[in-house]
Structure 1
Amino acid sequence: MSLGLRENQLQFTLLVVVNMAVGGLVGLERTTVPLIGTDVFSLSSDLAVFSFIIAFGVTKALTNLAAGALTARFRRRQLLLTGWLIGVPVPFMLAWAPSWGWIVAANVLLGLNQGLAWSMTVNMKIDLVGPARRGLATGLNEAAGYTAVGATALLTGYLAIVYGLRPAPELIGVVFVAAGLALSLIVRDTAAHVALELAQHPKPLPDGEHPGLASTFARASWRERSLRGASQAGLVNNLNDGLTWGVFPLLFTDHGLGLAAVGLIKGLYPILWGIGQIPTGHLADRVGRKPLIVSGMLVQAGGLVLALVLLERPLLAGVTSAVALGLGTAMVYPALIASVSDHAHPAWRANALGTYRFWRDIGYAAGALLAGLLADAFGLEATVIAAAVLTAGSGLLAAWWITERPRS
């Protein structure tokens, strides 16, 4: 047994396919669910419509945090399988929910599913490849997941045109659950690879340094400058994603676009986000993490501005914004995960990644909450402006706080 992408290519490939199923399940909601809230359940408040994203974001963030601690008691493969079992009811609840409360409840289960399943695919890939190829490993992982998110968003938009908002678009989730669960039964656990990296690590855990969740949470949230920089950038990155998840379908339908065009916009963003992470993950291993993180956040901010500048031509505005947001996020995502891994000892890396992913995914809830409050008070366009300002500010903070660490 050894560390490396080529040496573990079969297991790595299986995990890539598993994460495509993970991404596909959450992609069910990108196009249709905000419109289900307004058109099926007649919700008049934007905050009420975005409540499903808040439920998803809070649950996923807390599960990410718990997942790191749970790896000390359970094997990664056990947690991966648990995530898939929790996700089994989700497509059925979305398809036939008798009230909006059921949609919110489905998103609690979806958050648990995503927090466990996605966290474990990230950790297991990093375990397999070792420190030299973390950027590429995380890029491939996130590429698989978010390309599936985008493809599913496109497909659900098409199905909604042909068959209506429910139940056909949501029931394709059954395929993702079945595939993810079946493949997770085949994947091998990576505990032995973690033990091997610990044995090879040039720096033993210093005396008195505790690898537990509480200590690591403080270290990754505020005590260590680079980890703090990564955590805030991840939070704001997903804040603008959570905001556009809810706002863009409503904004562009208000300006005359139909479901097909909205599906294109909502699908193009994560597809570019996904595919783009393959070269950007590799680039992060060559030029460093910080240049991609800072420039990626600024590109995202520019994409949000373009959505408003070009709004008189809504399809052009949506597509141009989706391209910029997708490319900017592709630059940021693998570089942030790799940066956190660089600054974390293998003994507490799972907790560090869990903490980072907690802050990153609490951004979904923060973005949806901010979107609902601002949209109800000032309108959808003002909400997008606020997201652009926050994203640019986060990029500047990342430039100030994050440092590079040599990788062995």
Structure 2
Amino acid sequence: MTIRHGISENKLQIILQLIQVFLVGLTIGMTRTVIPGLADTEFGLGSQQFLLLTSFVVVFGVVKAIMNLLAGKLSDTYGRKRVLVTGWVVAIPIPLMILYAPSWNWIVAATLLLGVNQGLCWSMTINSKLDLARLNQKGLVNGINEFSGYAAVAIAGVITAYIVDFLGARQGLFIFGVVVIFLGLISSIFSIKETMPWAKLHQVGVTPATHQSLGKLFIQASWHDKVLLSLNQAGLVEKFTDAMVWIFLPVFFLSKNLTLIEGSAIVSVYAVVWGGSQLITGPLSDKIGRKVLIVGGMWICGLGLLSIPYTNNIFLWTLEAGVIGTGMAMLYPTLGAAVADFAPVESRGTLLGIYRFWRDFGYAVSALTLGMVAQMTQVLIAPFLLASTAMILSGLYVLIALPSTQIQK
């Protein structure tokens, strides 16, 4: 078998990997608007019990962060495909746990498994595409990967809202989840190739560096290297935006007497714009550099979040959701590509794993912080103000710390 790098040279496997991340996106997308509503209607968590409401996102964030940190090392040892398949196997109990959950704790436990699934499967889809592609296609690869995943998140949010409207929350999520997870598992076993040979070819001609342990690389990326530190903190803080959309926007829209389908449609605009625009912003960052898109995206998200509680009609909320989605499209694939720019080739996989750890640990930090603020103030506008401020300040730090000239590998 001849091994060549490039998206066009490996288009069939790239397409199959895009289908994989689409299915991964459907799996998490089914929880994005229905679960917050389920908390109130099925388990009696009133809109004032914000800390309990955020608990499932806190657990998801911690678990997914740990899985991201370990996924790179696991895939280097056991191969990308085995880790991908394992992620789907772990997801099998999720629909059953939602269907038969006697208490909210079962939903939290289901999201724990969801965090494992997302951390292993999503990481493997992007790592495998980076293995297959050329090194100067990092931005494009990140863009198409995140487009496929977050387009699926949007689609799942709308579809599950309609299914739940007809069948009920538990039954609707059960049927949708079983179909998606079965397709993901079967296709990962029978259609996906192991891409480690492509990964090893990337290192041909690269002078081996002194081996560094995961712990040393973690300290370097999280503290000593100020460039990687700025990117890692931005990855963490941008989850304040996604946590707001996941937890508080559905609750906010329900408090404004919107139906679940209307709220899901608005949230889906955020995900569709985010996903679709990454087809532009990913390759654009390869041309104009990463910094302007990261900083601009952070600030646009912050201003978009700030505007939502001060408007009061569906058209403006939809427009604001699109604006926030645009900001996320600017920063999200660009952050990952920037980490790859500034990471040495021989430790790039591990440093990307560390970035993804901090990025998804942001779910836990943001959900817990926003929940505490909402619980203490009992005012739904408070988390919007906090998230907006965090995004703007984080963008300012990137503006100061990140060099404008990117390191091309």
Q: TM-score, normalised by structure 1?
A: 0.95
Give the aligned partner of residue 287 of structure 2.
286
Q: Following the alignment from structure 2 to structure 1, what is the Cα–Cα distance between the partners of residues 91 and 317?
A: 31
Whether 1:187 and 2:192 are equivalent positions in the alignment is yes
Q: Following the alignment from structure 2 to structure 1, what is the Cα–Cα distance between the partners of residues 52 and 235?
A: 25
Q: Following the alignment from structure 1 to structure 2, what is the Cα–Cα distance between the partners of residues 256 and 394?
A: 33
Give the aligned partner of residue 169 of structure 1.
173
* 8 A contact 1:96–1:167 mirrored in 2: no
Whether 1:198 and 2:199 are equivalent positions in the alignment is no
* AA aligned opposite 1:195: K
Give the aligned partner of residue 332 of structure 2.
333
Q: Following the alignment from structure 2 to structure 1, what is the Cα–Cα distance between the partners of residues 236 and 320?
A: 20
Q: Following the alignment from structure 1 to structure 2, what is the Cα–Cα distance between the partners of residues 193 and 187?
A: 14
Q: Following the alignment from structure 1 to structure 2, what is the Cα–Cα distance between the partners of residues 376 and 324?
A: 28
Give the aligned partner of residue 237 of structure 2.
236
Q: Following the alignment from structure 1 to structure 2, what is the Cα–Cα distance between the partners of residues 376 and 167?
A: 31
Q: 1:2-401 maps to which residues of 2 (within 5 A)?
A: 2-44=4-46, 45-185=49-189, 186-201=191-206, 204-206=207-209, 209-310=210-311, 312-313=312-313, 315-378=314-377, 379-401=379-401
Shift in Å at residue 74 of structure 1?
Answer: 1.4
Deviations 1:140-182 (A, max 9, x none): 1111111000100011112222232221134212222112112
* AA aligned opposite 1:193: W
* AA aligned opposite 1:371: L
* 8 A contact 1:309–1:317 mirrored in 2: no
* AA aligned opposite 2:197: A
* AA aligned opposite 1:89: P
* 8 A contact 1:28–1:170 mirrored in 2: no
Structure 2 SS opposite 1:339? helix
Q: Following the alignment from structure 1 to structure 2, what is the Cα–Cα distance between the partners of residues 341 and 384?
A: 31
For structure 1, the residue ranges without an aligned partner over 5 or more in a row are: none
Q: Following the alignment from structure 2 to structure 1, what is the Cα–Cα distance between the partners of residues 77 and 173?
A: 38
Q: Following the alignment from structure 1 to structure 2, what is the Cα–Cα distance between the partners of residues 342 and 74?
A: 26
Shift in Å at residue 122 of structure 1?
Answer: 1.0
* 8 A contact 1:252–1:318 mirrored in 2: no
Q: Following the alignment from structure 2 to structure 1, what is the Cα–Cα distance between the partners of residues 27 and 205?
A: 37
Q: Following the alignment from structure 1 to structure 2, what is the Cα–Cα distance between the partners of residues 95 and 285?
A: 45
Shift in Å at residue 275 of structure 1?
Answer: 1.1
Deviations 1:77-121 (A, max 9, x none): 111111010011112212331211110000000000000000111
Deviating more after overlay: 98-107 vs 71-80: 71-80
Q: Following the alignment from structure 1 to structure 2, what is the Cα–Cα distance between the partners of residues 82 and 393?
A: 38
Shift in Å at residue 245 of structure 1?
Answer: 1.0
Q: Following the alignment from structure 1 to structure 2, what is the Cα–Cα distance between the partners of residues 231 and 302?
A: 21
Q: Give the % identical residues.
A: 38
Shift in Å at residue 365 of structure 1?
Answer: 1.2
For structure 2, the residue ranges without an aligned partner over 5 or more in a row are: none
* 8 A contact 2:342–2:407 mirrored in 1: no
Q: Following the alignment from structure 1 to structure 2, what is the Cα–Cα distance between the partners of residues 211 and 173?
A: 40
Shift in Å at residue 227 of structure 1?
Answer: 1.2
RMSD: 1.4
Shift in Å at residue 214 of structure 1?
Answer: 1.2
Q: Following the alignment from structure 2 to structure 1, what is the Cα–Cα distance between the partners of residues 361 and 342?
A: 22
* 8 A contact 1:147–1:275 mirrored in 2: yes
Structure 2 SS opposite 1:5? coil
* 8 A contact 1:243–1:364 mirrored in 2: no
Q: Following the alignment from structure 1 to structure 2, what is the Cα–Cα distance between the partners of residues 157 and 142?
A: 23
Q: Following the alignment from structure 1 to structure 2, what is the Cα–Cα distance between the partners of residues 69 and 142?
A: 22
Q: Following the alignment from structure 2 to structure 1, what is the Cα–Cα distance between the partners of residues 234 and 139?
A: 17
Deviating more after overlay: 239-248 vs 391-400: 239-248
Deviating more after overlay: 184-193 vs 154-163: 154-163
Q: Following the alignment from structure 1 to structure 2, what is the Cα–Cα distance between the partners of residues 316 and 119?
A: 35
Shift in Å at residue 243 of structure 1?
Answer: 2.7
* AA aligned opposite 2:222: S
* AA aligned opposite 2:133: V
Structure 1 SS opposite 2:345? coil
* AA aligned opposite 1:256: N
* 8 A contact 1:19–1:145 mirrored in 2: yes
Shift in Å at residue 317 of structure 1?
Answer: 4.0
Q: Following the alignment from structure 1 to structure 2, what is the Cα–Cα distance between the partners of residues 22 and 98?
A: 26
* AA aligned opposite 1:147: A
